[in-house]
Chains A and B, each alone.
Chain A
């Protein structure tokens, strides 16, 4: 009987198995075709595409497999597409990166580690057992520690890697401690069983539960770089290769958010007294004021991210703080504890995928030519290389949330969800923070278009190979296009959230 359940589970686990096989194939291909990393990259791309197709074939399936370790539902599928999509884009970015070419010997391993990071993130989206969550998180983290220090000849890269390891070890330790308290309270690790156990208990030790919840939040908060667990973010984002920074800022965050949302929604929802469940608003268990706790974290994250970003002159570091701020915006969607809020986060993630990856891609293209990420390099870029300048401006407008871009739609849904649930003050804080972010995003635009170009120096255009230009345009199109035609995506996101669980 056990054997049968394993066999049915395996048949539903095909995408992840293919991704696993991709990692192994990448190792072997790298060993066989040495010093030809392009072949490894090709293997990884093929593996990612096959995985995405298999996930596509699973859409609509809802099941809980491997004795409750892993869940398949539309929510997980949505995030899997975001993660696989960004992984695919990152592999394409990496092929164009000059920074990575400094270590051609290890480049094959780089692609292999990208695939294993992706595997960890995909597992994060569906994990429904605390141990599975922890394992998925560690798989992602350990791979990312290594790729962060990939250009180990660069000093700040090694520094970033070490800081990341130490910080990651501490926060995953805290998270494990929180999990162990949860296990001690309830005697179970499955999140659905945790929920039932907590509800059926005659009396709960609320202090212990609060401590466990906050400690677990530390682990999730580290992954999504929420304040006060954000200290690693700027250094790691600055030190890591640009491609990895982009990947961490989008896919890793998506995995962390997926896991946090599932954990909160499944574990702490009060099904018994929840009469409003049909309307998409959930009653949380008494005892821990999750909405307020998350609101405080969200405000702190937004404020710290935005206000520190103002002072940055290194674009990678600036975008690191901006990504902290975006984690704050997305946390607002969790505060309301309703389907509408969660759907808004999902929509925001799609917007964030295109605009943030786009912005990092421009940073990479400029750094390829100039070897620097300083804001000074962007002076007059709009005239030197209009394609890059205009694209960057679009991505930055989108990150701010100014109308003709998809970023606006993402923010609109977030704020709508907040206002619907009477979180007016939080919405106001969010809007004010967007205004602050306008300043530092526009500083770059000003440097690209409005700042006086030094007349003595000739205007040197940045040479962009055709494939890179095509990829750039490919990122610009959804950033603008989804502003006009976002209906289907919103429907998919809302369906994904309402059909949460198995």
Chain B
């Protein structure tokens, strides 16, 4: 008879076996035509530009953290919602306290300005003289449409 951890081991082994078998099967069945474009990183059909190891804005990290907190809140809300009817007002109050605590967090994040996405203001290269060519081109098109 399997113990509890024996079952975990069996689960693990079946998992490894499954992946192995499927990969092997695919290797036997699939056509084999390697060419260079297939080895490129997939970027939604675009031509890849530059290295994938670029610096991400640190703000993504903050947003991810905030998201995580409120996402986990929902994880707690679901089981509560299923038994809420039997537990009554006490459970309702408890959950309100929990959400209230998280709301304090939201207020904190809001006041501290972490919900604002301050855009960088890039210094655009300044052109000395206007480009008459483009201007006339627009004007010409207007005449045509009118």
Asked whether A and B interact, the reply is yes
**A/B interface sample: 10 pairs, CB < 8 A:** A3-B90, A3-B91, A7-B90, A24-B104, A28-B104, A28-B107, A31-B108, A31-B111, A184-B5, A187-B4
Across chains A and B, which 8 residue pairs bring their CB atoms closest together, nearest first? Answer: A31-B111, A24-B104, A27-B104, A27-B108, A3-B90, A31-B107, A28-B104, A3-B87
Residues of A within 8 A of B4 (CB): 187
| Docked pose: A7 CA to B5 CA in angstroms | 36
Residues of A within 8 A of B90 (CB): 3, 6-7
Residues of A within 8 A of B25 (CB): none
Residues of B within 8 A of A7 (CB): 90
Q: Does B29 contact A (CB under 8 A)?
A: no
Q: Does B101 contact A (CB under 8 A)?
A: yes
Q: Which residue of A lies closest to B91 (CB)?
A: A3
A residues sitting closer than 8 Å to B (CB atoms) are: 3, 6-7, 24, 27-28, 31, 184, 187
Contact residues, B6-42 vs A (CB, 8 A)? none
Give min CB distance, A257 to chain B, whole Å: 30
Among B4, B87, B107, B108, chain A packs the most CB atoms within 10 A around the CB of B108
Q: Interface residue count for B (Cβ, 8 Å)?
A: 10
| Docked pose: A24 CA to B108 CA in angstroms | 10
B residues sitting closer than 8 Å to A (CB atoms) are: 4-5, 87, 90-91, 101, 104, 107-108, 111
Give min CB distance, B92 to chain A, whole Å: 12
Residues of A within 8 A of B101 (CB): 24
Residues of A within 8 A of B104 (CB): 24, 27-28
Give min CB distance, A192 to chain B, whole Å: 22
Residues of B within 8 A of A27 (CB): 104, 107-108
| Docked pose: A31 CA to B111 CA in angstroms | 7
Residues of B within 8 A of A184 (CB): 5
| Docked pose: A31 CA to B112 CA in angstroms | 8
Give min CB distance, B82 to chain A, whole Å: 15
Residues of A within 8 A of B111 (CB): 31
Q: Which residue of B lies closest to A34 (CB)?
A: B111
Residues of A within 8 A of B5 (CB): 184
| Docked pose: A268 CA to B122 CA in angstroms | 64
Residues of B within 8 A of A31 (CB): 107-108, 111
Residues of A within 8 A of B91 (CB): 3
| Docked pose: A83 CA to B107 CA in angstroms | 30
Give min CB distance, A228 to chain B, whole Å: 31
| Docked pose: A80 CA to B41 CA in angstroms | 57
| Docked pose: A31 CA to B90 CA in angstroms | 30
Residues of B within 8 A of A6 (CB): 90
Query: Known pairs A3-B90, A6-B90. 12 more at Cβ < 8 A?
Result: A3-B91, A7-B90, A24-B101, A24-B104, A27-B107, A28-B104, A28-B107, A31-B107, A31-B108, A31-B111, A184-B5, A187-B4
| Docked pose: A28 CA to B106 CA in angstroms | 11
| Docked pose: A307 CA to B127 CA in angstroms | 70
Residues of B within 8 A of A28 (CB): 104, 107
